[in-house]
Homo-oligomer: A and B are copies of this chain.
Amino acid sequence: MKLVIVGGVAGGMSAAARARRLDESAQIIVLDKGKHVSFANCGLPYFIGDEITDPGALLVQTPQSLKAALNLDVRPEHEVVGLDAAAHTVTVKSAQGTHRESYDALILAPGANAVIPPLPGIGSARVRTLRTVDDAVALKDMADGAKDAVVLGAGFIGLEAAEALEKRGLNVTVVELAPQILPPLDAPMANLVQAELERLGISVRVGVGATEVIPGDERDVVVLADGTRIPADLIVISVGVRPATAVFEAAGIACDRGAILTDDHGRTNLPDVWAVGDATAAKDPVTGAVRPVALAGPANRAGRLVADDLFGLEGARPIPTPLGTAIVRAGNLTAAMVGANRRSLEQAGIDFDTIDLHPNQHAGYFPGASQIHLTVHFRANDGTILGAQAVGADGVDKRIDVLATAIRAKMAVGDLIDLDLCYSPPYGNAKDPVNLAGMFGQNVLDSTTALWHPADLDRVTQTSLILDTRSAGEFAGGHVAGALNIPHTQLRDRIDEVTAAAAGRPVRVLCASGMRSYIAHRVLQQAGFDSATLSGGMLALRAHLGDRGDSVIVKG
């Protein structure tokens, strides 16, 4: 068996290693157009930010180490420029010239290329992407002595690069065409991260694109669509990636908008050809949308499963649909998500409900307690969890990982009540944030709670009495204009005031995070009011409003 693998970073190298462990006798050749294989692409921004100082640390494996441990024939700087599926050969270009390599089985793991927006001046030497170790080394060099940097694109890598450059002392501006940073996140979560970036001193421009780079002798200038001109000693492009599949599509590999289509064992439409990783398409488990998922985790795990199928391992496990679990550190915050977000659910026309909550990550009486902003989307009819997002200083990754596991298990939101999670004051709460999400969600499903949402604010202001159940001091610190303030502890004695103020209108209750207003809501609901409680309270409202908050929330 001669196995040729195109691409030796995540999915490709994972398949190669598994292939060797399954078959000592196979000839395994890994071809990669880059200088390095099996390198830590997710670590590149931290190298720029000097959290990782040794570039050698980014080289997880080398051709030599892979030869020694796994008897792999790894050939960097070998680009595959042709495929003849009928002849079972690939055409390989390297310093030694061009030759054909035959295969019995072929795994395509070519990855994706950075998208370079076709702007005037984009070819300036001060413009770089951040995809390779060489990119990272070059950016670090360019940053020395530089003053201003512009990052085009506010996705995960863009923000990590921005923070790394800021750590090196540069003035950094992030420019994002979408109306928010981190487009996969729901807007309120993105607003929280944006505020943290701004706290670090990073300028954030959303809803506006770059139109031109004007190269200069001393420095370049980035021009935005609104006319803003930003000087830049270096410019990082991170506006997305595109599957690097042109050669293979031309050779007859079936693709969808450039992403290789496979079955759930990674088999392509051509015999003896498998594909894995950023170059492949995956079906969104919630919305059914077919799109590439450019994430290291799914690629690494799928690589192993492709090798299982290729070597005919009995009952080889199918490659699971990636849930798109992703996480990013931004300053002192962590933002993470899994599954579908609000936009994709709305676009798919799915009937869903959303809860927002702000529990502490561990016991409130234990030092270091901090709130997690947690959002969970679930199907309105049966409670199936569809997606979740969280932002906070600590414990975010744990909760999203638990929710990712629950989604994989097809749990309903109420099932989260029953999760038996670690509790001791330094680690959690007797009712963990995930348990609380289950309780809130189940309350919504069985109508123990009626919710209103931050996005309803304008309509609610028109039609309803807003009842703020926080203390008088909290109310004075900032409240929705026109709201009535009755602390939840006084509500039972002052319910006549609510009747008078509501004058037949619905009552829409709120507090800081949604706990006290929930209690008040239950009092009002049982007293016959048309009542609902604001999901996530003022914290969620402020996150939703973002910069608009100061004009809607009044003091005094």
A169 at the interface (CB under 8 A from B): no
Bound CA span A397–B426, Å: 10
Contact in complex: B423, A42 (CB < 8 Å): yes
Instruction: Among B10, B397, B406, B420, point to the contact of A320 (Cβ < 8 A).
Output: B420
Q: Are A69 and B367 in contact (CB under 8 A)?
A: no
Tell me the complex Cα distance, A326–B421, Å: 8
Instruction: Say yes or no: A297 contacts B363, CB within 8 Å.
Output: no
- Complex CA–CA separation, A40 to B177 (angstroms): 49
Q: How far is the CA of A328 from the CA of B426 in the complex (A)?
A: 9
Per-position binary interface string of chain A over residues 419-452, scored 1 when its CB falls under 8 Å from any chain B CB and 0 otherwise: 1111111111011100100010010001010000
Candidates B70, B298, B430, B527; contact of A296 at CB < 8 Å? B430
A219 within 8 A of B: no
The reply to whether A417 and B301 contact each other, CB–CB distance below 8 Å, is yes
* A298 and B424 contact, CB distance less than 8 A: no
Complex: A422 Cα to B422 Cα, angstroms: 19
A191-199, A518-526, A542-550: which one contacts chain B?
Answer: A518-526
Q: Check if A366 sits within 8 Å of B51, measured CB to CB.
A: yes
A60 to B365, CA, bound (A): 8
* Number of copies of this kind of chain in the complex: 2
Q: Which residue of B lies closest to A316 (CB)?
A: B446
**Smallest Cβ distance from A136 to chain B, in angstroms?**
12
Q: Determine, out of A73-81, A202-210, A407-415, the stretch whose residues face the partner at the interface.
A: A407-415
For window 26-47 of A, CB contacts with B under 8 Å fall at 40, 42-43, 46
- Residues of chain B within 8 A of A272, CB atoms compared: none
Q: Identify A317's interface contact among B46, B70, B442, CB under 8 A.
A: B442
Interface status of A2 (Cβ within 8 A of chain B): no
Interface string of A503-529 (1 = CB under 8 A from B): 000000000000010110011001100
Give A296 Cβ to nearest chain B Cβ, in Å.
Answer: 4
CA distance A397 to B14 in the complex (A): 27
Interface residues of A in 360-384 (CB under 8 A from B): 363-367
Asked if B422 and A325 make an inter-chain contact with CB atoms under 8 angstroms apart, the answer reads yes
Contacts of A329 in B (CB 8 A): 424, 426-427
Cβ of A430 and Cβ of B10 under 8 Å apart? yes
Contacts of A125 in B (CB 8 A): none
With A363-B40, A428-B397 as contacts: A422 and B327 at CB distance below 8 Å: yes
For the complex, is A489 an interface residue (Cβ under 8 Å from B)? yes
Knowing A57-B365, A365-B57, the reply to whether A401 touches B430 (Cβ < 8 A) is: no
**A342 to B: closest C-beta gap in Å:** 19
CB neighbours (8 Å) of A363 from chain B are 40, 42-43
Interface membership of A22, Cβ < 8 A? yes
Q: Is the CB of A184 closer than 8 A to any CB of chain B?
A: no
Q: A43-B425, A46-B425, A323-B420 are in contact. Are A448 and B401 (CB under 8 A)?
A: no
CB-CB nearest 4 A-B residue pairs: A409-B409, A68-B489, A327-B422, A320-B418
Chain A interface (Cβ within 8 Å of chain B)?
10, 14, 20-25, 40, 42-43, 46, 51-52, 57-58, 60, 68-71, 156, 295-301, 304-305, 313-315, 317, 320, 322-329, 334, 336, 338, 363-367, 397-398, 400-402, 404-406, 408-409, 411, 414-415, 417-428, 430-432, 435, 439, 442, 446, 448, 488-489, 492, 516, 518-519, 522-523, 526-527
Known: A57-B365, A304-B417. 12 other contacts (CB 8 A): A21-B519, A42-B363, A42-B423, A42-B424, A51-B367, A68-B489, A297-B421, A297-B432, A301-B430, A315-B446, A329-B426, A408-B415
